[in-house]
Structure 1
Amino acid sequence: MRKSREEAAQTRKRIIAVAAGEFRKNGIVATGLNDLMRAAGLTHGGFYKHFESKDQFVAEACAAALEALTERVTAAGSGAATSYLTTRHRDNPGDGCLLAAIGSELGRCDETTRAVASDGLLKLDEIMAGQFGKSPPAAARRRALVAVSTTIGVLTLSRLVTAPELSAEILKEAEKSSIKA
């Protein structure tokens, strides 16, 4: 039985949402299409009914993950850095920041996916710059670039280390530092 266009669009949206989480949790390369489609409740054969290529699919899933991130950062307002640098965020990469979860892998993706990641970074920078309201726009942008880059790096390092105490200390000390607006 053929699905309606609306049902197909909803299925595509579900696949992208599942992929965004799986990519953040496991990485792009380590996430197989079979497993991904199964997680979305579908078979592998249905993938190419929705997407022309894996590269297109990866770019769309990354765009969805970054859109969700910018919405959360916007909603957090001036507490964005503090809410970003938490053990909950550290321990749940599948629900968190795409750039911290797979940033180094994104750097090895095709140009379209890298452009999506770049656009997401610029949106985060713009949101953060808005939190430095009293600063001239150029100074706010510079501060925001440092704040965004620092928080992504801090979260990445807190996930990388094996000692739980060191991981918590990295988050705590960064949160206390001047990266807040």
Structure 2
Amino acid sequence: MTEPTQRPEGPKAEGRRAETRERILTAAGHLFREHGIDGVGVDAVMKEAGLTHGGFYLHFPSKEALAAEVSHSLLEKAATKWDEISRSPDRDAALEQIVRYYLDPARVSTANCCMLTTLGPDVARRSASREAIGGALRGMLDALTRVLPGRKRQKALASLSTLVGAVMLSRMADDPALAEAFLDAAAASILPARDRTKLPVNQDVPG
């Protein structure tokens, strides 16, 4: 007697599966940035997503695989948006848009700021997560190279390092004035002098 052949999933089932997977990624992204990858278990992620624990392994083989996917997803969104902005014919305005949003004090003070500043130490300890963000990290550098004066890769490396470091130091400072001073200094070191006045922040730029 032959065993029954399993029917392939139809479009509706595949759509539900993709939607559920996205819910898990969104929940994990929120919790990981708020508490750190090591501070959150699978149970907490699934509860946040409104799902049962057992369903997790239908979508991810392990928590480490989830962490890598979350890291990739969060940074890829930023890299994609930076790439779009960097292709503007007004490179100075594009640079201003990227830098001002990244260093926005209101955003920096929350867990929704760049995953490099909230999950960086956790990712550094995970080879799979490091590999997952490699392409997005290079994409962000490409975008900065495109809009920085002189279009030098070395300047892009220094600028991204400055942005990430300034946000991390600002988040650690217990003095609000010092926290803002780190952000202002970073902006001043990257933007051309004529662009250093504070401008309204564009709320559509992830990073």
With the shorter chain as reference, the TM-score category is 0.7 to 0.9
Q: Across the two proteins, how many residue pairs are aligned to each other?
A: 173
Find the aligned partners of 1:168 and 1:160 in 2 and give their Cα distance.
11
Map of 2:124 onto structure 1: 107
Q: What is the aligned counterpart of 2:159 among 147, 150, 154? A: 147
Map of 1:4 onto structure 2: 13
Q: Does 1:170 align with 2:186?
A: no
TM-score by length of 1: 0.87
Work out which of the two has the higher radius of gyration on C-alpha atoms and give 1 or 2.
2
Calculate percent identity across the aligned residue pairs.
31
Runs (4+) of structure 1 exceeding 6 A deviation are: none
Given that 2:145 and 2:155 are in contact with CA atoms closer than 8 Å, whether structure 1 keeps it comes out as yes
Cα deviation per residue 1:38-65 (whole Å; 9 max; x = unaligned)?
1111111111111111111111111110
TM-score by length of 2: 0.77
Map of 2:62 onto structure 1: 53
| Secondary structure in structure 1 of the residue aligned to 2:147 | coil
1:4-153 equivalent positions in 2, closer than 5 A: 4-74=13-83, 77-79=94-96, 80-93=98-111, 95-109=112-126, 111-132=127-148, 134-135=150-151, 140-153=152-165
Given that 1:66 and 1:98 are in contact with CA atoms closer than 8 Å, whether structure 2 keeps it comes out as yes
Q: Could you list the runs of 5+ residues in structure 2 that have no partner in the other structure?
A: 1-8, 86-93, 193-207
- What is the root-mean-square deviation in Å for CA atoms of aligned residues? 1.9
| Secondary structure in structure 2 of the residue aligned to 1:92 | coil
Map of 1:160 onto structure 2: 172
Cα deviation per residue 1:99-118 (whole Å; 9 max; x = unaligned)?
11121221111x22111233
Find the aligned partners of 2:173 and 2:13 in 1 and give their Cα distance.
48
